[in-house]
Amino acid sequence: MAIVQTMTAKLLRRASRLRKKLLQRNIELADIGRLLDEFEIRSEEMLVVYSSWEELRLKAPPNELINVLKARLSADGCLAFPTAPFAGRLKEYLLTRPLFDVRRTPSCRGLVTEIARRRLDAFRTPQPGCPFSLIGPAAKRLAGMQKDYSSPYSEDSFLAECHRRNALILTLGLNFIQNSGVHYAEKQMNHQLGLFSGERLPYSIRLDEQIIAAESEYLFEADRDWRFIHDGYRRQASFHERELHGTSYSRIRENESFSVFCEAIRQGKIRKTSSD
């Protein structure tokens, strides 16, 4: 029985990949505009964008995509792109005792985020564990909010502000892979999973010419039951998911995303995987 189930699952995955390949083709900025209309993204106060350039296959330059998204902000709005400076684990990054240069350290979260970081109108939040590059009328003010550099999830952090303002989270060509959301929820639930080790690791931040030495409580990696989380999203009122030419797009409000993660933590669907 188990063998049959495994084989069926494999066949279904293969069929899904094949279907995606057949459907995939380039999209235009106008397609993105229509998608944003469909998602009712017209005048957002806070829009957090996760993207995959490869999956998008957009014919227009990344900068024009950012302009299209920026045009959907309110008069005091802010567009946010994750621009973390490491591709692997936070702990490994911090163990190198890095200097995180807010202006110059590249983003390791893909091409769109790096273009966003480089724009003249972008302001980057300074905590190296989970920095965002912010664009829009409120960008400068929000990027300067955080003074507690020990955690990406402190009360004055950008992520906390996203939660307070019930930001809209948009993914372009990606499923929800929100480590930051998981960790923020876990912190708010008083570290029920023990994802925070309490061990403090040093790093430095360069803010213009000023260098600030800081320490961070590093995080364990979290293993997740994505099926559970995805089903959880589907039950939320503001969750919308769309496929266009083989590429996935979705949107959800931060507070609803937060509830999904909290529920997953309560039910033991998110686990600690590393013991280092």
Residue 216 CB, shortest distance to other proteins, in Å, is 23
Complex with other proteins: residue 110 or 232, whichever CB lies closer: 110
33, 61, 144, 268: residue in contact with other proteins (rule CB under 8 A) = 61
Residue 92 CB, shortest distance to other proteins, in Å, is 16
Complex with other proteins: residue 110 or 128, whichever CB lies closer: 110
Residue 8 CB, shortest distance to other proteins, in Å, is 30
Binding of residue 62 to other proteins (CB under 8 A): yes
The 16-55 site mask, x for binding other proteins (CB under 8 A), equals ------------------------------------xxx-
Complex with other proteins: residue 106 or 144, whichever CB lies closer: 106
Complex with other proteins: residue 33 or 106, whichever CB lies closer: 106
Using H for helix, E for strand and C for coil, what is the string for the chain?
Answer: CHHHHHHHHHHHHHHHHHHHHHHCCCECHHHHHHHHHHCCCCCEEEEEEEECHHHHCECCCHHHHHHHHHCCEEEEEEEEEECCCCCCCHHHHHHCCCEEECCCCCCCCCHHHHHHHHCCCEEECCCCCCCEEEECCCHHHHHCCCCCCCCCCCCCCHHHHHHHCCCEEEEECCCCCCHHHHHHHHHHCCCCCCCEEEEEEEEEEEECCEEEEEEEEEECCEEECHHHHHHHHHHCCCCEEEEECCEEEEEEEHHHHHHHHHHHHHCCCEEECCCC
Residue 107 CB, shortest distance to other proteins, in Å, is 7
Complex with other proteins: residue 26 or 43, whichever CB lies closer: 26
Subset of residues 100 to 159 that bind other proteins, contact rule: CB under 8 A: 106-112, 114-115, 118-120
Provide the CB-side half-sphere exposure for 66 (13 A, CA).
24
- Please count the other Cβ atoms lying within 10 Å of the Cβ belonging to residue 181: 22
Complex with other proteins: residue 122 or 270, whichever CB lies closer: 122
4, 75, 87, 237: residue in contact with other proteins (rule CB under 8 A) = 87
Complex with other proteins: residue 61 or 202, whichever CB lies closer: 61
Per CB under 8 A, residues contacting other proteins are 52-54, 61-63, 87, 106-112, 114-115, 118-120
